[in-house]
Amino acid sequence: MKQLCSLLFLSCLYLGLFGKGYSGKPTVVKIGSIFSFDSVIGKVAKIAINEAVKDVNSNPDILRGTHLQVSMQNSNCSGFMGMVEALRFMEKDIVGIIGPQCSVVAHMISHMANQLRVPLLSFAVTDPVMSPLQFPYFIRTSQSDLYQMDAIASIVDFYGWKEVIAVFVDDDYGRNGVAALNDKLASRRLRITYKAGLHPDNVANKNEIMNILIKIMLLQPRIIVIHVYSELGFAVFKEAKYLGMMGNGYVWIATDWLSTTLDSLSPLPAERLETIQGVLVLRPHTPDSNLKREFFSRWRKIRGAPLALHTYGLYAYDSVLVLARALDKYFKHGGKISFSNDSMLDAVGKSGNLNLEAMTVFDGGETLLKDILRTHMVGLTGLLQFTPDRSRIRPVYDIINVAGTGVRQIGYWSNHSGLSIVPPESLYTNKQPNMSFGTTSPKLRHVIWPGETFQKPRGWVFSNNGKELKIGVPRRISYKEFVSQIRGTENMFKGFCIDVFTAAVNLLPYAVPVKFFPYGDGKENPSYTHMVEMITTGNFDGVVGDVAIVTNRTKIVDFTQPYAASGLVVVAPFKKLNSGAWAFLRPFNRLMWAVTGCCFLFVGIVVWILEHRINDEFRGPPKRQCVTILWFSFSTMFFAHRENTVSTLGRLVLIIWLFVVLIINSSYTASLTSILTVQQLSSPIKGIDSLREMDERIGYQVGSFAERYLRDELNISESRLVPLGSPEAYAKALKDGPRKGGVAAIVDERPYVELFLSSNCAYRIVGQEFTKSGWGFAFPRDSPLAIDLSTAILELAENGDLQRIHDKWLMKNACTLENAELESDRLHLKSFWGLFLICGVACVLALFLYFVQIIRQLYNAKPSEENDAIGRENYDSSSLRSTRLQRFLSLMDEREDVSKAGSKKRKIDGSVNDTSGSRHSRGFDREKSFNSVNPLD
């Protein structure tokens, strides 16, 4: 008896001293769960968590001998209540918490979890702001709204919409979700035009919802993203239906709150279903599996299940399994369930009556957290694995369309493949996104939009608050054919640009209320750059006129498709060139004449070298040979050379040269004919390059971008630039010239210049157009009207209306002279260098082969002759080189022996007549007499 009492005493003493530090594997592990019991998510999550705990406790492979015990608390999505209920958990030695459900509660209790080292596994908090740096013990077992908003941005971009309106619940969940949407849209150059925040408790406040929707109706965008709670969302849809905002032209995109309700309460009551027809909805995707099907079948048999199972119920179930498996791993590695008091909480508790000393720190919390993050398992929601930011890998969303009495799946979105109509599980095996699709494969199936239409809504309309678009129009004082104000009116204009704009607007499938506002003082042409900048300040909604599309303007506004080609050109005076006594020299420039003459001489010398040893016509006294070279060279120009070539190399060179001469003669003849028969124009200015090199003054049109381009891009001194305001000023300045205070040339856009030249025949465009641009209508950045008008302008060009408008305003009686640009009519070397190169290569190659033959003959000379020469010079090496040089020159000059070239001689004899034969004999006798006295022999 005494021994039994001693044993009980020691046991009590041990438990009293080390109760909370018990080191063995416990039979019960306490976990907590905090969420909103009365919500759509909470009603399903409560049952799912209990079912998960049952499955864990009945599974012998998990937590052998240890049972999970879950304690649930209702936060009602209140930050205060969530904090109170979480404090109760901390008094019960909780090792992990499943939840919270709401972002507001998550922000509150995550600080507490950090301090007490208790992991939070949230199955429903999608707030993207929950950072692992700030909340290291917060783990998301669902998907972040960061990915959901990326999916919405992809949808908006896919359909070509530019602006959206965001309706959201004004708390952490709504604000942070819309902020993520704004970032994702901005990355695609899209934007949120208007943000409408609703109070979380505004379900019954019908008037406030109505006022917000009326404001939205007055805006241009018709793409509305709604990110709220379920009851508030249905209240919005009800009022939108009443206002006619669920009809044609509107697009509603709802986040996963609506899909959760649809899955839980399917089928919805008819009155609710009627209010959401045509809405696009996102739903967290869970791949199909046997586990999932079995659990759905089991769910239907559960008594008391108030709602159908939805995705967040699956997340709640898997959260329990993740925590259980992490605890199992924790125990296998020697982990213990022990708690200790926090010194800071003890100090605070002693100073008041809060009883904070009852709250303990989980000693193994950090180790358990690491085990959770290393989880790699397959649950009801698919693969469970965490990224470094504590989110699940492979986020995927279903995109569904509410139609009729149910929903239609129209596609998927994942951060791996983007939008697709194929389940993303089949794409994860590919190394690159969308590898299984071609570029033309559909990304989404057809949608039934609000109003029961299959036609994609335009996404925006002009606001119906009676506001007209303020369109700025330049008040020009010159070239009024392009745009001018109708006399006696304030807001009426006419001209080429106005007619093009009006015709394009008439092609749009909707009405565009516009009102023109003049810009400028009416005394000189206004600055077009300043006029375009007024769009960015809100003074104008657009600019219509002869506005050039240039770089500095495209940085601040959007332009339509160009409706008129433009670019800077140089206009200068010209003079007529008469034929004159020396007109025959004008077809070629000086360099061409020089190179052509040198080539004639070079080819003549090459042919003489190749023919001299075997052709009697290229032999004789030096004076005669020089005359022969000159005669042969220049007679080939007329194909009148009388000397025959007998060597193969000579004939090859001559054939190539005669081909070159044929091309040169033909080109010369054609150019000279043009010079003598067509009136020629000339100007000392050949284009913008020659104008830059000169030091003369240059004119430009007031208000044109030409001034900035000449000054900033071409670095022309501002002192050389002269502003001119009218065609009359152009003509006077060009006529006076720089010596009388005028200008040497004018730089302006081609449309103005062509109109100027139509009535001023003394001037011409010189050189080429040195910039490429066009005229377009300017609108604010990302304006959908710019896109639609661009399509209309292309249609005008295709059906010929654009040309007819051009002819109406700009077709003038042209001068009798040609309107072509002035360019030099001379032929340049660059047009023939290829021919000269071929001829030169042929000559050099022929000479090389010829000298190779001569050198071989030199070294194949008889040894006796060589030795005699050596003996005569006493074997002196320098004398030997001199002798070989003399021998080389002798071989070059001497006639080749008939026995060595019998075949060549026979060819010559067979190709000449008797008269030429006698002439050759006389030439041969003369050459023999010459060779007899030649010192080289």
DSSP per position, 323-349: HHHHHHHHHHTT----EEE-HHHHHHH
Strands 377-379, 382-384: pairing kind: antiparallel
Cβ–Cβ under 8 Å, residues 271 and 261: no
Do 55 and 201 have their domain in common? no
Do 96 and 213 have their domain in common? no
Do 43 and 94 have their domain in common? yes
Task: Please check whether residue 625 lies inside any domain of the structure.
Answer: yes
pLDDT of residue 730: 92
Q: Three-state SS for 366?
A: helix
Do 347 and 404 have their domain in common? no
CA distance linking residue 108 with residue 154, whole number of Å: 33
Looking at 677, 708, 740, the residue that finishes a domain is 677
Q: What is the 3-state secondary structure (H, E, C) of 896-924?
A: CCCCCCHHHHHHHHHHCCHHHHHHHHHHH
pLDDT of residue 892: 66
Q: Which residues of the chain have pLDDT under 70?
A: 1-24, 202-204, 343-358, 429-441, 463-466, 575-584, 616, 639-640, 642, 675-682, 812-826, 828, 861-882, 884-885, 887-889, 891-937
Task: Please check whether residue 377 lies inside any domain of the structure.
Answer: yes
Distance of CA 458 to the CA centre of its chain: 24
CA distance linking residue 85 with residue 108, whole number of Å: 11
CA distance linking residue 20 with residue 12, whole number of Å: 13
Express each pLDDT in 45-96 by its tens digit.
999 999 999 999 999 889 888 999 999 999 888 888 888 888 888 778 899 9
pLDDT of residue 4: 40
Do 258 and 160 have their domain in common? yes
Task: Please check whether residue 609 lies inside any domain of the structure.
Answer: yes
CA distance linking residue 616 with residue 243, whole number of Å: 111
Task: Please check whether residue 458 lies inside any domain of the structure.
Answer: no
Structural domain harbouring 649: 583-677
Do 159 and 237 have their domain in common? yes
Task: Please check whether residue 240 lies inside any domain of the structure.
Answer: yes
CA distance linking residue 130 with residue 118, whole number of Å: 16
Amino acid at 338: S
Which has the closest alpha carbon to 671: 797, 881, 814, 827? 827
Residue in the structure block whose two tokens are 């967040």: 312
Task: Please check whether residue 238 lies inside any domain of the structure.
Answer: yes
Task: Specify the number of domains making up the chain.
Answer: 3
Express each pLDDT in 142-187 by its tens digit.
999 999 999 999 999 999 998 999 999 999 999 999 999 999 999 9
Do 153 and 268 have their domain in common? yes
CA distance linking residue 908 with residue 167, whole number of Å: 104
Do 192 and 274 have their domain in common? yes
Do 118 and 34 have their domain in common? yes
Task: Please check whether residue 255 lies inside any domain of the structure.
Answer: yes
Looking at 677, 693, 721, the residue that finishes a domain is 677
Residues whose CB falls within 8 Å of the CB of residue 774, separated by 6 or more in sequence, listed in order: 548, 549, 562, 563, 564, 565, 566
Question: What CATH number does residue 316 fall under?
Answer: 3.40.50.2300
Do 125 and 173 have their domain in common? no
Residues whose CB falls within 8 Å of the CB of residue 505, separated by 6 or more in sequence, listed in order: 512, 514, 789, 792
Q: What is the CA radius of gyration of the chain?
A: 48
Do 333 and 235 have their domain in common? no
Residues whose CB falls within 8 Å of the CB of residue 328, separated by 6 or more in sequence, listed in order: 62, 63
Do 159 and 262 have their domain in common? yes
Task: Please check whether residue 451 lies inside any domain of the structure.
Answer: no
Looking at 647, 662, 677, the residue that finishes a domain is 677
Residues whose CB falls within 8 Å of the CB of residue 233, separated by 6 or more in sequence, listed in order: 226, 254, 257, 258
